[in-house]
Every structure is written in structure tokens, then in C-alpha cells.
Structure 1
């Protein structure tokens, strides 16, 4: 179909058929490609993430210095140590807070004996109330 369409739209009047075929080949060879933005995929742009290679189980490579299981075991052990250190630090902090609380309670008990007790409020004396009222009126 493409040949038929090209023959319909490419016309070389007044030239030999040999010149026409050469011209037709020239125009076909220099046909412009669509702009890069209009293409669905481009060779120079990475469209996909790299695919992980399938892991072979049971076979070890000569160039691998440490097998994968040993590395993962070391990583797990390091993680366990880190979590254990965090747990120990938390226990120390909780113990310190507990000691500080006990000290605060002891200080409050000691100071409770020294603190003045609530004063007993005496009923107002009518004579002093009358004096206060007279002072206000002045």
C-alpha cells in the first residue's frame, strides 16, 4: 500500500523514469522522523527500571568472597545488637526516672512535716467589718 500511496503523491513530470526513480529513492531516504517528544519510546531515554537478575540458589560463584546467607546473617546479628543496645538504654532511662521519682516523693514527705498547715479561717468580727465599711465610705 505504501508504494501505491507514494506513486500517487510523488510525480516527476518532464523527467525520465530513471531520474524519477532516483529522485523517489532520494525523497524516501531523507524522510524526516517524527520529533522525539511524539515517540512512544526512545532509545536514548531509559523507560524502565533495571530488572533484577534471578538468583541462583545452591550454586556459589567463585568470585563471591562471602556467601549471601553469611552476609544476611551478619546483618541480622548487627541489627539484633543495635536493638539490644536500644533496649538497654531504655531500661537505664526508666530506672533513672524511677529513682528521681522516689527522691521527689521522699522530699515531699520531708517538706510536708515542715509546711505550715492551712490556717483556720476565723469568722469575721462585726466590729472590724463596720470599720472597713466606714473606711470605704471616706
Structure 2
């Protein structure tokens, strides 16, 4: 008796067809077999659902490697901070130098102005002020003052 596999292979019979047509039609009909729906599969081919084989070595880092990396990172950050501090100190020194230059310039200008005033002091006209100037108040103001005195 024939096995079920042999029976299934003989079910495709093309009577009176050439060998090439039979081969093409077998390929065509075998390609039309439906795959089960994706939801009914236990494992999808595109997802990583499989466990690793037992013999594979783990690539995890141990504690000392992690400490070394932390130290390297900390050293890198400290170096960057030190460089920033140096740059900031240089900027402050440049600003202080600029300020000193400005202060020296202002001092020179003041000294020049004082020197010029001393030179011109001997050539100023002298204004005699024998009597202090007394301004005469207007009549309106005098009337207002007398009106205020009468009220009190």
C-alpha cells in the first residue's frame, strides 16, 4: 500500500501535457499553498523571541569595567571643567587689563585738564564783588507776603 505522501505526490496529474508544462504547473500550484495566519503562529520570524543557546558567552560588563568607565568619564568631565575655568580666568584678566588701561587714560585726561586750568588761571579776569548782590523782589511777591502776614 502507498503512503499518504506518495498519494499526495500523484494527485497532480496532467494528462496529455508536455513535461515542461507539467513542471510549471506543479511549481505554480505548490506556490499557492496558504500559510497559516500570522496570529496563529507561535513564533514570528521577524521578532526576536527565541532564547539564546546555552553555550553563548555573555557580553555584560562586570563591576570593575563599569568603575573604570565611570572614572574615565569623570576624568573627562573634570578636564573639560578645568579648561573652561582657565578660559574664564583669561577672559577676566583681559577685562581687568582693559579696565586698568581705561582708568589710566581717564587719569591722564584729568591731569591734562587740571594743567590747562592752571595755565589759564593767570589770564582770567578778576570780578570784584564788594557788595553782595541783593535781588529786588517783585511787587506781586511783596503783596503776597503782606497778605499772608495779615492772615495770621
TM-score interval for Structure 1 and Structure 2 normalised by the shorter chain? 0.3 to 0.5
Instruction: Say which one has the larger Rg.
Output: 2
**TM-score, structure 1 normalization:** 0.41
